[in-house]
Structure 1
Amino acid sequence: MIIGIMKEPQDEARVALLPEAVKTLLSWKVSVWVENDAGSKAYASDHLYQDAGAEIHSRTEVLSKADLILGIQPISETEISQMKPDAVLMGQLNALFNPKLTEFLINNNRTAFSMELVPRTTRAQAMDVLSSMATVTGYKAVLMAADLLPRFFPMFMTAAGSITPARVLILGAGVAGLQAIATARRLGASVFAFDVRQAAKEEVLSLGAKFVDVEGAKEDKGAGGYAVEQTEEFLQRQKDTIHEHAAKADVIITTAQIPGRRAPLLVEERTVRAMKPGSVIIDLAASSGGNCAMSQPDQTVEVNGVRIVGVGNLAANMPQDASKMYGKNYLNFLKLIIKDGNLNLNFEDDIVTGTCVCHHGKPVSSRIVQIHNS
C-alpha cells in the first residue's frame, strides 16, 4: 500500500506528516510517497524525507498512484477525479461547512475521512486535530495581540513610575481559550474569561484568571465539550455582561464556536465603540461568521482606534510544531485503519465511523448523514 503526502496550497505552511513520522509508517509495512517540496515551508526538505525512507514524486504521480492520500487542506474536485477509484482521501475537509465538496465525494463514489469530525471522546483525544491546532492558535493569538497592543502586558515598577498590567478578556474557555489564558498570564496580564459552560470555571480559575459568570446558561453533556445554542434571554444578558467587561479591556480574544453552525455573536458593534482607542480584538472565529460583529475573515479592521483582527489559519504561522502535532494525531488515527500493511476500515469502531465522510459514495458519519438527508 502507498501512502501519499500532499503539498498544501500556497498559503498553508503546515504539512500532514513530517519526516519523523515516515519511519513509523514504514514499520507498518507501507510505502510512503511525498510530493516534491511538501514539507519545505515547515522546514522539512525532500532530503530529510528521503533519509527517513520516503520516495519523492510529482503531484500527479502521488495523486494517481497512492492508495491513501493525506493532506490538511482539501484538494480540488479535479484532483480528486485523478485519484484511483478505490483510493482513500484524508484531510481536514471541513465536511460540515463545505457541502459542495461533500456531495461531490458522495456522488463520485469516493471514500474520505475528515479529521475535524473526530469524536470528542476520551479515546479519540490523541487524534483530535482541532484541539491540537486550537492549542497553537490560542498561543499565537496572545502573541499577536501583545505585538499590536501599544502598551505592556505585565506590570512594571520603574524609575519613571508604575505601569499597570494589561487587562485581557478571553471569550470561550475551550482548548484555544485556555491556552490563550495561560499565555496571557505568563506574559503578566490581568486575565478575565467567559464561557457558557460552568464546567470551564474551575479550569479558568486554576490558570489564575477570573471567571466572568452569566447565570442561566443551557448546557448539553452530549455536545462533546462544545458550547450549545442558548435562549434569547440568556444571550442578551451575556452581551450586556461582555459589554461591561469589554469596555475596560485592552485586549479581547474570542474563541467561541458551535460545530456546523455560525459562530455566536458575542461582541456587538456598540461594545467595540465603547472600548478604549488602542485596544485590540483577535477574533479566532472569523472564518465561521465571527464572534465580533465587525470582524472580517483574514482582515484587520480599525474602528475608533480599536483594531479588530479576523484570524483565519493562525496555526500555519507555527508550521514546525503545528505539523508535528497534526502528524501525531494522524498516526494515532491511522493505527485504527492500517493492519499488516493494508487498509482495514472497521466501521464498528465509533472513531472510524464518526470521522468518515463517505465510503464508496455512501455517507457514514451521522453528522454527514443528517446534512445529506436534509
Structure 2
Amino acid sequence: MIIGILKEPGDESRVALLPEAVKTLISWKVTVWVEKDAGSRAFADDELYIESGAKIHNREEILQQADMILGIQPLEEKEISKMKSDAVLFGQLNALYNPSLTQYLINNNRTAFSMELVPRTTRAQAMDVLSSMATVSGYKAVLMAADLLPRFFPMFMTAAGSITPARVLILGAGVAGLQAIATAKRLGATVFAFDVRQAAKEEVLSLGAKFVDVEGAKEDKGAGGYAVEQTEEYLQKQKDTIHEHAMKADVIITTAQIPGRKAPLLVEERTVRAMKPGSVIIDLAASSGGNCALSQPESTVDINGVRIVGVGNLAAKMPQDASKMYGKNYLNFLKLIIKDGEIHLNFEDDIVTGTCVCHKGKPVSPRIIQIQNN
C-alpha cells in the first residue's frame, strides 16, 4: 500500500507527517511517498524523508497512484478527481463548514476522513487535531499580544519605580483558552478568564487566573465539551460583564466557538471603543464570524488606538511543533485502520465512524448524515 504525503497549499507551512513519524509509519509495512519539498517550511528537507525510508515523488504521481493521501488543508476538487477511485483521502476537510466539498466527495463515490470530526471522547484524545492545534494557537496568541502591547506583561521593580503587570482577559476556557491563560501567567500578567461552562472554572483557577462568573448559563453535557447557544437574557448579561472587565484590560484574547455555527459575539463595538488606547485584542474566532464585532479575518484593525487582530490558522506560525503534534495525532488514528500494511475500516469503531465523511459515496459520520438529512 502506498501512502502519499502532499505539500500543503498557499501559506500553510505545516506538513501532515514529519520524517520521524514517516519512519514509524513505514515500520507498519507500508510504502510512503512524499511530495518534493513537502516539509521544507516545517524545516524538514527531502533528505530527512529519504533517510526515514520514504521516496520523493511529484504531486501528480502521488495523486494518481497513492492508496491513501494524508494532508492538512482540503484538496481542490480537480485534484481529488485525479485520485484512484478507491483511494482514501485524509485531511482537515472542514466537512461541516464546506458542504460543496462534502457533497462532491459523496457524489463521486469517494472515501474520505476529516480529522476535525474526531469524537471528543477520552479514547480519541490522542487523535484530536483540534485540541493539538488549539494548544499552539493559545500559546502563539499571547506572544502576539505581548509583542503588540506597548507595555510589559510582568510586574517590574526598577530604579524608575514599579511597573504594574498587564491585565489580560481570556474569553473562552477551552484548550486554546487554557493554554493562553497558562502562557500569560508565565509571562507575569494578571489574568482573568470567562467561559459559559461552569466546569471550566476549576481549570481556570488551577492555572492561577481569576474566573469571571456570569450566572444563568445553559449547558449541555452532550455537546462534547463545547459551549452551546444561550438565551438572549443571558447573552446581554454576559456582554455587560465582559464590557466592565474589558475597560480595565490591556489584552483580550477571544477563543469561543460553537461547532457548525457562527462564533458568538462577546466583545461589542461599544466595548472596543471604551477600552484604553494601546490595548490589544487577538480574535482566534475571526474566521468563523469573530468574537469581536470589529475584527476582520487575517487583518489588523485599529480603533482609536485599540488594535484588533483577526487570526485564523495560528498553528501554521509554529510549523515544526505543530506538524509534530499533527503527525502524532495521525499515527494514533491510523493505528485503528492499518493492519499488516493494508487498510481495514472497522465501522463498528465509534472513532472510525465519527471521523469518516463518506465511504464509497455513502455518508458515514452521524454529524454528516444529520446535515444531509436536513
Please tell me the residue identity of whatever aligns with 2:222: G
Q: Find the aligned partners of 1:9 and 1:310 in 2 and give their Cα distance.
A: 21
In structure 1, what is the equivalent of residue 125 of structure 2? Answer: 125
Identity of aligned residues (%): 86
Cross-structure match for 1:217: 217
Corresponding residue number in structure 2 for 1:113: 113
Which residue number in structure 2 is paired with residue 338 of structure 1? 338
Alignment-mate amino acid for residue 180 of structure 1: A
Q: Distance between the aligned counterparts of 2:51 and 2:349, measured in 1? A: 35
What SS class does the counterpart of residue 169 from structure 2 fall into?
Answer: strand
Equivalent positions of 1:1-20 (< 5 A) are 1-20=1-20
> Residues of 1 paired with 2:240 and 2:10: CA distance?
41
Q: Secondary structure at the match of 1:188?
A: coil
The aligned counterpart of 1:273 is 273
Summarize the alignment of residues 287-298 of structure 1 with structure 2, pairs less than 5 Å apart.
287-298=287-298
Instruction: Find the aligned partners of 1:287 and 1:98 in 2 and give their Cα distance.
Output: 13
The CA distance in 1 between the partners of 2:26 and 2:290, in whole Å, is 42
Q: Quick one: distance in 1 between partners of 2:122 and 2:161? A: 50
- Structure 2 distance, partners of 1:52, 1:27, is 10
Aligned pairs (5 A) from 1:86-101: 86-101=86-101
Deviation at 1:350, TM superposition (A): 0.2
State the SS of the aligned residue for 1:336: coil
CA distance in 1: counterparts of 2:293 and 2:99, whole angstroms:
25
Q: How far apart are the structure 2 equivalents of 1:64 and 1:373?
A: 33
Question: Which residue identity does 1:159 align to in structure 2?
Answer: A
- Give 1:10 deviation, angstroms: 2.3
Q: In the alignment, what sits opposite 1:249?
A: 249
Q: Which amino acid aligns with 2:164?
A: T
How far apart are the structure 2 equivalents of 1:10 and 1:257? 25
Q: 1 CA distance for matches of 2:158 and 2:9?
A: 48
Amino acid of the structure 2 residue aligned with 1:118: V
Kindly report structure 1 stretches of 4+ aligned residues shifted beyond 6 Å: none
Give the match for residue 314 of structure 2.
Answer: 314
**Counterpart-to-counterpart distance in 2, 1:43 and 1:340:** 31
Alignment RMSD (CA, Å)? 0.5
Does 2:69 match 1:69? yes
Q: How many residues align?
A: 374
Matched residue type, 1:32:
V
- Aligned-residue offset at 1:24: 1.0
Equivalents in 2 of 1:13, 1:27: separation in Å?
26
* DSSP-derived class of the 1:233 partner: helix
1:371 is matched with which residue? Answer: 371
**Equivalence for 1:173:** 173
- TM-score, L = length of structure 1: 1.00
**1:196-239 Cα distance to aligned partner (Å, 9 max, x none):** 00000000000000000000101111111100111111000000
Query: How far has the Cα of 1:255 moved from its partner?
Result: 0.2
Q: Secondary structure at the match of 2:81?
A: helix
Whole-angstrom distance in 2 between the partners of 1:22 and 1:182? 32
Q: Secondary structure of 2:38's match? A: coil
- Return 5+ residue gaps in structure 1 as ranges: none
**How far apart are residue 23 of structure 1 and its match?**
1.5
Encode CA deviations 1:237-295: one digit per residue, 9 max, x unaligned: 00000000001000000000000110000000000000000000000000110000000
- Residue in 2 aligned with 1:234? 234
Partner of 1:35: 35
- What is the Cα deviation at residue 312 of structure 1? 1.2
1-side partners of 2:260 and 2:109: how far apart?
A: 24
Output the amino acid matched with 1:31.
T
Match of 1:146 in 2: 146
**Cα distance between partner residues in 2 of 1:199 and 1:373:** 33
CA shift at 1:363, angstroms?
0.6
Paired with 1:164 and 1:179, the residues of 2 have a C-alpha distance of: 23
**What is the distance in 1 between the residues matched to 2:124 and 2:222?**
15
* Corresponding residue of 1:351: 351
Measured against aligned partners, the alpha-carbon deviations of 1:144-172 in whole angstroms (never above 9, x if no partner) come to 00000000000011110111000000000
Which residue identity does 1:49 align to in structure 2? Y
Aligned partner letter, 1:58: N
Post-superposition shift, 1:348? 0.3
Q: How does 1:189-228 map to 2 (within 5 A)?
A: 189-228=189-228
SS at match of 1:371: helix
Q: Structure 2: which amino acid aligns with 1:364?
A: V
State the alpha-carbon separation in 1 of the partners of residues 370 and 264 from structure 2: 22
The runs of 5 or more residues in structure 2 that have no matched partner are: none
Deviation readout 1:100-146 (Å, 9 max, x if unpaired) = 10000010000000000000000000000000000000000000000
Distance in 1 of aligned mates of 2:45 and 2:62: 17
Q: TM-score, normalised by structure 2?
A: 1.00
